[in-house]
Structure 1
C-alpha cells in the first residue's frame, strides 16, 4: 500500500480521508510494517465499504486485515438503522465463525505423560474435515428449535451448564433469528453437522499459558501461568455458507430497484428496513445461533474426553466471541446516542469496562477477547477497552490474518513436513487433511505477535495473556 495516502493520527492508527465515492473516512490499524504489507485490493474494498448508503464512519481495517469477499477480512463497518444497508458480503460465508476458550484446572505438567493419549481421544471423538458430521441428527422442529435457541438449546439438551451461557456473546442466543428465512437446502446441509469442527482454518487446540501481562485481569479471567486451556475455532458449517450463497445474488439483483449502485457485486447489500434486508437478518441470526450451538456441543464433547483421562479436571468456559456477524448496537456518534448495525467480518467484538452486556465478573476488566494463532504460533487473550467504542465501534482483530492465499500456501509448503516440524517442537497435530495443514501453515499468516502488539498500541484492546499450543486438531 502507498502509505502516503494515509495520515497517522496516533500510534498504530492511520486515517484515509474520504474522497471520490467515499461517504466517510476509513481507519487502518497497525504499525508501519503492517500497513505497508496491505495490498491494493484490501484498500479498494475498504473504500467500497465507505461508499455504501447510510455508512457511519469510520470504516475500520484491523491489523490482521487482508482482502476477502466483499468486505475485507478484518473489516468493520457500521450503518444507520434507518438509512443504512446490511450486506451478506459484510458478514461472510462462515456466519458467526468464532472462538471460545475453556479453562481446565490443570497445569502443563499434568499433560506431560498424557498429551498423545488426549490428542488421539479428541481426534476420535470430535468430527472434523469437509462434510464430516456427528451423531446428532436435526430435522424439522428440532432444527428450528436449535436455530432459535443457539447455545441455550444445547444446554437445555444436557450438553452444557447453565453458567456457560453468561460467558457467551448474547448470552448464547440472539433474539432476531428467524428459521423461516433459512432455506430447506441450508437446513439440510446442517442435518448431521452439529458438534463438528469442519475444515479450513477451524481447529481445536489444547494450550498452556506462557506469559501473563496483566495479573489482576488474568485472575479475574481465571487464568495463570502454566494453566492448560482449550480453544475451539469453528462456525455455522454448511448452513451459514448456504445462507450467504443464496442471499448474495438476491441482494445483487435487487440493488438497482433500491437505487443502490454497487461498487462491486461482491459487496451486494439491501436496505436494513427493506423486506429483503429483514429476511437476511433473520436468516443470518439463525446462522449465528447455529454456530453458538455448535461450539456448545463441541464443549460438551471436549468435557467428556477430559473426564476420561483427567477425572479431577473442571472445564469452565472463559468466553465465546464471534467474528463474522452483524448486530444492532448503540454508540455515541457526534455527541448523540445512536443505534447502528455493526458488520464485523474477521473482527472481534471487544466491549470495554462497564458495558451493561458483560457479565458482572467482567464489568471491571472489559470483555475477554480471544485471538487465535495457527498451530505453531501463539494465541492471545486480550481485554476490551472503553476507548474502542469511539475508535473502532468496540472491535479489534481476530487472528494474525493471512499473508498468503491458500493456493500460494499449498505451493510453498508440504503438509507432512509442517506436521513433522511441529512434532519436533513438541506440538502434536492431528488432521483430516494433510493439504489443510499446508494451507494453514504458520508462515502463511502474518506475525501474530506484531498484530496483537499493534492492537494494544492502537488502544482497542489490552494484552492479558499469551498462550502456546500443546496439541491441535485440524479440520
Structure 2
C-alpha cells in the first residue's frame, strides 16, 4: 500500500485525489506501518469512492480500525455540505446506532470476583442474546411507534431506568427529528419482538475492571478509578435497523438516478440531504437510532436488576450510573469549521465514534471541562479503553475517532482456524468467565480475529483525536 498512499506523518496517510478520476477530495487514513501492511485494497477503493460523492468536505476519512464494509468502509467518516451534499444509507450501515454503553459501579474487582459466575449466569438468563433473540417486552404496533419517536424517554416513562440516565446518553437517547410513519411495517414487525435483546455477532455484555488509569484528572470527572468494576453493553437496532437500511437502499438508488448522481459504487446509493428522499431516510434512520438507545436502556435496567439479585444490594447503592452511551453507525446534522468558516454538515460515521472536545454544548455539562467520554471496546480476551474527546478531533476529523478494534479475519476464516471450545478454555485460564448463545460465536469473535486494540488506542491517542483515560479488562463476558 505504501506505493499508493502518501505518508504525512507517523500515523497519517493520504490517498491522493488522482487515485480515482472522480475524487473531489483526498482520502485520509489514520494507521501505523503495521496496519498499512494489513490494509485491504478494497478499503482504499471504498475511501476513494466516498470521496467522489457530491458535497463532501475536506477528506474521506478512515480510522485505524477500518476494514471492508458495505458502501463505506467500516471505520469510515465523511461530512457533506448541507446545501449541496448527500446522505447515504451505506454511510450509516445496516445496524443503525450500533453503539456502546458503559455503566459504573462502586465495587472493586476483589469484591465482585467471588460472584462472577453467578453474575454472568444471571445476566445471561435475564438478557436475551443470540441470532433472532427475542426480548421480554411485548409491544403493539402503536407502542413501537412511541419507541421510535420517544427513544429512551419511552423506556424511563415505563419504568426501565432512572430519570438522570438521559443526561449521559448521546442525544439524550432521543433524536427529535424521527418519524415512525416513514418506517415500514416489515421493519416494525422485525423490531417488535427484539426490543431489549443483545443480538448476535460482535455484540456483547462484559463485566470489566479498570486495569490502568492514564489520566487521573479526567478519570475523576468520569467517576472511575483503578480496580473499579464497570459494565459494558454493545448492541444496536437489531432487525428493525437492518430492515430500515434495506428498504431505503432501494429507494435511494432510484433517487440517485432521479437527481443525476453518478455513483462510483451502487452500494453508495444516496440522495441530496434536503430532497424529499433524503429527508425521509434521515427521519427513518433517526427512528432506528432511537430504537437502539431504547434497546440498550432496557438491557441496562436488567443489568441493574441482575446485580441486585446476586449481590443483594440496591442498584442505587451500588451507584450503577451510566458513564456514557455513544453511537457508532449514524448520520447527524452538525456544525464544524471548514476552511476557517462554520458550516452545517451531515456527518456520516460508519463504525466510528463521536469525539467532541471540551466546551462543546452537545455533551453533558459534567464533562464539558474535559470533553465527552469515548468508549473503545476490544473483544473478550483483550482490553477496552475509556477515552475523552479533543479539540484536535473537532479540527481534524469532524469530531470523530475510532470505534473499536476492527476485524482482520472474516467470521468464516476464524471458525476454520479456531474452535469455540479452545477459545472458552483459553479465556477461563485468563480468569474470564464466558457464556455464549451459540457454539460457533466464540470462534467467530475470538480476539485473534481482531486488530490489536492497544495499537488502535495508541494511534488515536498519539494523533490527538481522542485521549486515553483508562484501560479496562474483562472478567465476565456474554456473547450473542
Offset at 1:5? Answer: 2.4
Q: Secondary structure at the match of 2:57?
A: strand
Alpha-carbon contact 1:100-1:320 (below 8 Å) kept: yes
Stretch of structure 1 that moved more, 63-72 or 241-250: 241-250
Alpha-carbon contact 1:11-1:457 (below 8 Å) kept: no
Alpha-carbon contact 2:58-2:338 (below 8 Å) kept: no
Offset at 1:9? Answer: 2.6
Offset at 1:130? Answer: 1.0
1:222-371 matched pairs, under 5 angstroms = 222-310=223-311, 311=313, 312-371=317-376
Alpha-carbon contact 2:380-2:477 (below 8 Å) kept: yes
Offset at 1:29? Answer: 0.4
Partner of 2:222: 221
Alpha-carbon contact 1:50-1:57 (below 8 Å) kept: no
TM-score calculated relative to the size of structure 2: 0.97
Alpha-carbon contact 1:251-1:268 (below 8 Å) kept: yes
1:50-199 matched pairs, under 5 angstroms = 50-199=51-200
Partner of 2:440: 435
In structure 2, what is the Cα distance between the partners aligned to 1:10 and 1:153? 47
In structure 1, what is the Cα distance between the partners aligned to 2:107 and 2:196? 24
Alpha-carbon contact 1:352-1:389 (below 8 Å) kept: yes
Would you say how many aligned residue pairs link Structure 1 and Structure 2? 474
Offset at 1:314? Answer: 2.2
Stretch of structure 1 that moved more, 212-221 or 51-60: 51-60
Partner of 2:15: 16
In structure 2, what is the Cα distance between the partners aligned to 1:447 and 1:361? 32
Offset at 1:361? Answer: 1.1
For residues 22-59 of structure 1, give each alpha carbon's deviation from its aligned partner in whole angstroms, at most 9, with x where no partner exists: 00111100211112211110000000000001111211
Offset at 1:254? Answer: 2.9
1:358-397 matched pairs, under 5 angstroms = 358-397=363-402
For residues 338-370 of structure 1, give each alpha carbon's deviation from its aligned partner in whole angstroms, at most 9, with x where no partner exists: 010000000000100110111111111111000
Alpha-carbon contact 2:152-2:294 (below 8 Å) kept: yes
Q: Secondary structure at the match of 1:114?
A: helix
Offset at 1:437? Answer: 1.1
TM-score calculated relative to the size of structure 1: 0.98
Q: Secondary structure at the match of 2:229?
A: strand
Alpha-carbon contact 1:372-1:380 (below 8 Å) kept: yes
Q: Secondary structure at the match of 1:112?
A: helix
Offset at 1:392? Answer: 0.7
Q: Secondary structure at the match of 1:137?
A: coil
Partner of 1:202: 203
In structure 2, what is the Cα distance between the partners aligned to 1:327 and 1:423? 41
Partner of 1:405: 410
In structure 2, what is the Cα distance between the partners aligned to 1:135 and 1:225? 35
For residues 397-447 of structure 1, give each alpha carbon's deviation from its aligned partner in whole angstroms, at most 9, with x where no partner exists: 000100011111111111111111111111111010111111101000011
In structure 2, what is the Cα distance between the partners aligned to 1:435 and 1:89? 28
Offset at 1:17? Answer: 2.4
In structure 2, what is the Cα distance between the partners aligned to 1:362 and 1:196? 29
Q: Secondary structure at the match of 1:15?
A: strand
1:469 aligns with 2:474: yes
Q: Secondary structure at the match of 1:175?
A: coil
Stretch of structure 1 that moved more, 347-356 or 402-411: 402-411
In structure 1, what is the Cα distance between the partners aligned to 2:306 and 2:352? 31
In structure 2, what is the Cα distance between the partners aligned to 1:72 and 1:383? 24
Partner of 1:458: 463
Partner of 2:4: 5
Alpha-carbon contact 1:270-1:276 (below 8 Å) kept: yes
Q: Secondary structure at the match of 2:3?
A: helix
Offset at 1:133? Answer: 1.0
Offset at 1:140? Answer: 2.3
Q: Which runs of 5+ in 2 are unaligned?
A: none
Q: Secondary structure at the match of 1:304?
A: helix
Partner of 2:429: 424
